[in-house]
Amino acid sequence: MALDQQTIRGLAEHLETCELRALDTLKITDEHPSMDWDDAYAIQDDILRRKLARGARLIGLKAGLTSHAKMKQMGVDSPVFGFLVDSFSVPEGAEVKVKELIHPKVEPEIAFVLKRALKGPGCHIGAVLAATDFVLPGIEVIDSRYRDFKFDLKSVVADNTSAARFVVGGRAMRPDRIDMRTLGVMMEKNGEVVSIGAGAAVLGHPAAAVAALANHLGRRGQEIPAGAVVLSGGVTEAISVEPGDHVGLRIQHLGSVSLNFAPACRCTSPEGNITMPFAQIYMVEGRTPEQKKAVIEKVSQALVEATGAPIANVRVWIHEMPKENWGIAGVSAKDLGR
């Protein structure tokens, strides 16, 4: 390990605060270039410890960056592993509160539920299939705490592999009834197909990702517990979502599962009953058009940040007050001598 305990705790607190307040940050290896793999997982473990201390329940684990599409999208070359707690779990068809997230993306995944614990080293696809109770379709919502999703592998491990929310549902299927490699996967956003893939995209067989997770944990003296849900990794690249989006995932033989992303804000504008964040600014007359434009741009940006609404939905209205109406506590500007 290259970092001391205090630094590890400080980085865990920083990353978890970013998660809880929906704030982004620069990747932590920028300031700690010597950080090694053990440090990265120690930071992730400390984030889990913080959550458990506040009453969270560990309900599952995840493998990430297990498909070529994902590795290519993120510019990395090996899988990473993280944890899932109860607050990440969203019921089927429920609304995800976009305001609680920074820049969410969705991924289609095959989720495993184990009937027996799995421990590496030496875990393989056969052992995973024997220990699996059933598999389900799952949508993972990832939300890297790093600005613009720009990170390296160690930084993303420390950030619990961008884990944020997930839903599982559809039809539970025993693993001996299907060939997971040839399962067709189709994800749609607002009724349009946004990604298509097959199970084999995940390390040749999604169970290989679960075996890799068990082997990773085995090296650290841990195991995948019975009853845990395991997300085996995005089959295709991740897709960005905006407030108001609907995302559906259909996997051959496993049925479908869906999520809604809460609309930004419900306001009525002068144009009718349109969903859009709306701000009115009062200013004394006399500003140039350029100055007014700059105010509109700044306020629009603040609304985008505060509500998560797309910039195109934001409206800013400037009211100009005549100079003679301006005053302080009933004394006009003129009488104030200004």
Tell me the closest approach of the beta carbon of residue 152 to ligand OOG, in angstroms: 11
What are the beta bridge partners of residue 204? none
Q: Rule CB under 5 A: say whether 143 interacts with Mg ion.
A: no
Q: Rule CB under 6 A: say whether 162 interacts with ligand OOG.
A: yes
The single residue of 243, 277, 289, 322 carrying the catalytic annotation is 277
How far is Cα 123 from Cα 44, in angstroms, rounded to an integer?
A: 23
Tell me the closest approach of the beta carbon of residue 165 to ligand OOG, in angstroms: 12
Q: Rule CB under 6 A: say whether 307 interacts with ligand OOG.
A: no
Strands 255-261 and 246-251: antiparallel
Q: Identify what 162 binds: Mg ion, ligand OOG, none; CB under 5 to 8 Å per kind.
A: ligand OOG
Nearer to ligand OOG, 90 or 265 (CB): 90
Q: Identify what 308 binds: Mg ion, ligand OOG, none; CB under 5 to 8 Å per kind.
A: none
In this structure, are residues 189 and 246 in contact, taking their beta carbons and an 8 Å threshold? yes
Q: Rule CB under 5 A: say whether 140 interacts with Mg ion.
A: yes
Residue nearest to Mg ion (CB): 140
Which ranges constitute the DSSP H helices of the chain?
A: 5-21, 37-53, 68-74, 125-131, 153-158, 206-219, 289-307, 333-336
Which residues inside 215-244 make contact with Mg ion, applying CB under 5 A?
A: 234
Whose structure tokens read 């705490």? 145
Residue nearest to ligand OOG (CB): 64
Draw the binding track, 85-124, toward ligand OOG (x: CB under 6 A; -: no contact).
----------------------x-----------------
3-state secondary structure of 200: helix
Nearer to ligand OOG, 40 or 303 (CB): 40
3-state secondary structure of 140: strand
How far is Cα 210 from Cα 191, in angstroms, rounded to an integer?
A: 31
Which residues neighbour 325 within 8 Å (Cβ) at sequence distance 6 or greater?
332
DSSP letter at 133 equals E
3-state secondary structure of 57: coil
Which residues inside 89-128 make contact with Mg ion, applying CB under 5 A?
A: 107
SS3 track for 311-333: HHHCEEEEEEECHHHCEECCEEH
Asked about 310 being catalytic, the answer comes back as: no
Q: Rule CB under 5 A: say whether 197 interacts with Mg ion.
A: no
Which residues inside 218-237 make contact with ligand OOG, applying CB under 6 A?
A: 233-234
Q: Identify what 160 binds: ligand OOG, Mg ion, none; CB under 5 to 8 Å per kind.
A: none
Nearer to ligand OOG, 42 or 63 (CB): 63
Distances (CA, A) of 181 to 204, 205, 212: 7, 5, 16
Q: Rule CB under 6 A: say whether 142 interacts with ligand OOG.
A: yes
Work out which of 132, 161, 258, 307 binds ligand OOG, going by CB under 6 A. 161
Q: Which range of residues in 62-70, 112-120, 175-183, 267-275 is near Mg ion by CB under 5 A?
A: 62-70
Tell me the closest approach of the beta carbon of residue 203 to ligand OOG, in angstroms: 11
Which residues inside 25-84 make contact with ligand OOG, applying CB under 6 A?
A: 64-66, 70, 74
Which residues neighbour 154 within 8 Å (Cβ) at sequence distance 6 or greater?
29, 35, 36, 37, 39, 40
Structure token pair of residue 166:
């997930």
Rg of the chain on CA atoms, in Å: 24
Tell me the closest approach of the beta carbon of residue 305 to ligand OOG, in angstroms: 21
3-state secondary structure of 87: helix
3-state secondary structure of 105: strand
Q: Which residues bind ligand OOG (CB under 6 A)?
A: 64-66, 70, 74, 107, 140, 142, 144, 149, 156, 161-162, 233-234, 238
Q: Which residues bind Mg ion (CB under 5 A)?
A: 64, 107, 140, 234
Q: Which residues are catalytic?
A: 277
